[in-house]
Structure 1
Amino acid sequence: MSAKSSTTAPAARLVVDLAGRERTHVVEIAGTSVHYWEYAAVGSPAIAADVAAVPAATTDAVAAPAPVPASAASPVRTIVMVHGFRGDHHGLERVVELLPHARIIMADLPGFGRSPAFVSGGGHDIPGYSAFLGGFLDQLELGPETVLLGHSFGSIVVSHFVAANPGRVYPLILVNPIASPALEGPKGIMTKLAVFYYWAAAKLPDALGNALLRSKVIVHLMSVTMAKTRDKELLTFIHGQHHAYFSGFANRDMLLEAFQASAGGTVREVAALLTLPTLLIAGELDEIAPLPHQHKLLERLPDGELVVIAGVGHLIHYETPEPAAAAITDFLERHPAP
């Protein structure tokens, strides 16, 4: 086990540019039409084919993909990313942009974003989403060399999946991992209020409950509470992202179920079973996944590493994607596909 710190965060870039890399797909998993996004590696044949397909008259307007440097000449890694609670694939796209030499696949989890809720055979909880993840990997024929990454609630989902399916992926990356139950953190009282908020919203009449859950004031308050940056432009970007995508859930019942799972589940529960190399990327100021608990989680991992990013909380994917992507790149270079 090892730990290291990153003390500087480069200036944020507020425009995500994935032109030419992104493709949208739909796949049926246990009767649910799941929407997912595939981001091709820069310099891959898929991107070259897209450029070649542009009519000659307009080719001048299309930027050719950047050449793959010699250091990236090794086989392209495929990374499957799992987003956090109330988010969708948009949240991790700043990190995706900074991993140009990887093929990245990311679904909107059932019930979030463009993916409808489970229609049968699965709950919106850790077992349900873990089963979904297994079906998703199988349906896309992704083998054991696949890298798995989860952010926040996604860290619980992927860690429980890996614990139940040893050898299925390699290695594992957890960003802002949930190392302890939310009620144990410094914001335990806020978690209790959140529990009441989601419970009350599910019990109120439909129109009133949905209005409460999608309240711009409450969404903004959540965003302000999580953000640690003082950069006004970056804050505007973060709040805009939350207002655009934080209310994209299917219905109140599934949201309550998923919230209960996010508040009660942890990576810690299965840490000892995660025998593959596991990277933890934690925020120094994270109040949802506090840093002391990350160190305790590291001690439980058979083969773990911890990278701490200074000056950021639970929004590493928005506020400090550069050091996060650098840590991921370094980790994968040291842990090539089996």
Structure 2
Amino acid sequence: MDTCQSFSIGPAPRIRVDSVGSGELLVLLHGIGGNRRNWRVNLPALAAGLHVVAWDARGYGDSDDYDGALDFRDFARDLVRVLDHFGAGRAHILGLSMGSWIAMDFAANWPERVGTLTLCATHTGFAQFSDAAKAEFVRSRKAPLLGGAEPADIALPVARSLVSPSASAEALDQLVDSMARLHKGSFIKAIEAVVHTDYRDSLPRIAVPTHVICGTDDPLTTADMAREVADLVPGAELTIIPGAGHLVNIEKPQEFDAAAVGFLRRHAGAATDA
């Protein structure tokens, strides 16, 4: 694999990225408790024949925090900036959990800039849940932090709630490290914003090759939820990886890489400018 370069893309809030490889652009979008480090185990396989960029979303990792509330579409607007920085008219987009909803939002509003979509550990958005369920999602994640806890204090129990029963100690440690690196204020903003997502109406309009990947043991975004997404997107492929929890790329990296790379290789050229 080529040497991985890390740098920030401006203007503010500056977006930190890891960039490796050459060819068509593939952008990797992490989840609500993640950062660009979540993809490092996958980069060698994904960067074989592609230019892979993994970002820290605004308010995450080494990217800038920002003033005011978060409009969830800000993430997609930042993705436009990333593509523009690399001179890419279109790109392959691969997102996990919150990253998948950013990808859906980007595809709904900038469809001409999407070559392929890979949606991992996903569902159609939080509008499908009751108001009570959404409120509990927000409360359970905000309450400890508002009560004085820091992300590092909640990292282990949250990580344990996301992995499969068979997850390795190494996979759990990666999740704990990821959660411990969260920016407290920006994480709370993301929690509050993500519950307003709803892509049930836009998914049937996706007109690019789409791949949905999930784990059998994901307690948060279940296999049935993934099937619903795949059923709504015309021609979408579905891969269910046995024994994987929510962070399927970390728990089962070889199986994830094989599925993701296989799909991307079959559709190479989809992101090439006309």
TM-score w.r.t. length of structure 2: 0.87
Among 26, 29, 32, which residue is 1:82 paired with?
Answer: 29
Q: Do 2:31 and 2:96's aligned partners in 1 also have CA atoms closer than 8 Å?
A: yes
Provide the rounded CA distance (Å) in 2 between the counterparts of 1:162 and 1:37: 22
2:62 alignment counterpart: 114
CA distance in 2, matches of 1:295, 1:197: 27
**1:250 counterpart residue number:** 183
Q: Equivalents in 2 of 1:184, 1:194: separation in Å?
A: 10
Structure 1 residues 302, 226: CA separation in 2 closer, same or farther (over 3 Å shift)? same
Question: Which one has the largest radius of gyration?
Answer: 1
Correspondence list, 1:89-104, <5 A: 89-101=36-48, 102-104=50-52
Matched with 2:9 is: 27
Question: Which residue identity does 1:26 align to in structure 2?
Answer: S
Tell me how far apart the structure 1 counterparts of residues 140 and 228 of structure 2 sit (CA, whole Å): 30
Tell me, yes or no, if structure 1 residue 39 matches structure 2 residue 20.
yes
Gaps of 5+ in 2: none
> More displaced, 191-200 or 258-267?
191-200
- Alpha-carbon distance, 1:279 to partner: 0.5
Gaps of 5+ in 1: 1-17, 42-75
Task: Indicate if the aligned counterparts of 1:37 and 1:105 stay in contact, CA closer than 8 A.
Answer: yes
Letter in 1 for 2:110: N
Note if 1:260 corresponds to 2:192: yes
User: 1:201 Cα shift?
Assistant: 5.1
Partner letter of residue 79 of structure 1? L
How many pairs does the alignment contain? 268
The secondary structure found in structure 1 opposite 2:264 is helix
Q: CA deviation at 1:269?
A: 4.6
What letter corresponds to residue 39 of structure 2 in structure 1? L
- Could you tell me how far 1:299 is from its partner in structure 2? 1.8
Summarize deviations over 1:155-183 as a string: whole Å, max 9, x none.
00011111111221201111112334287
What is the alpha-carbon distance in structure 2 between the residues aligned to residue 85 and residue 99 of structure 1?
22
Offset at 1:247? 2.9
Report the 3-state secondary structure (helix = DSSP H, G, I; strand = E; otherwise coil) of the residue aligned with 1:246: helix
Deviation at 1:215, TM superposition (A): 4.4
Of 63, 69, 73, 1:127 maps to 73
- The amino acid that maps onto 1:92 is W
* Aligned residues: CA RMSD: 2.5
Query: Separation in 1 of the partners of 2:261 and 2:174?
Result: 25
Letter in 2 for 1:224: R
For 2:142 and 2:163, how far apart are their aligned partners in 1? 25
Q: Mean Cα displacement is larger for which, 133-142 or 261-270? A: 261-270
TM value normalised by structure 1: 0.72
User: What displacement does 1:249 show?
Assistant: 3.1
Point out 4+ residue stretches in structure 1 off by more than 3 angstroms. 182-185, 191-194, 197-204, 266-269
Q: Are the aligned partners of 1:180 and 1:289 in contact in 2 as well (CA < 8 Å)?
A: no
Q: 115, 122, 133: which one pairs with 1:177?
A: 122
Shift of the alpha carbon at 1:22?
0.9
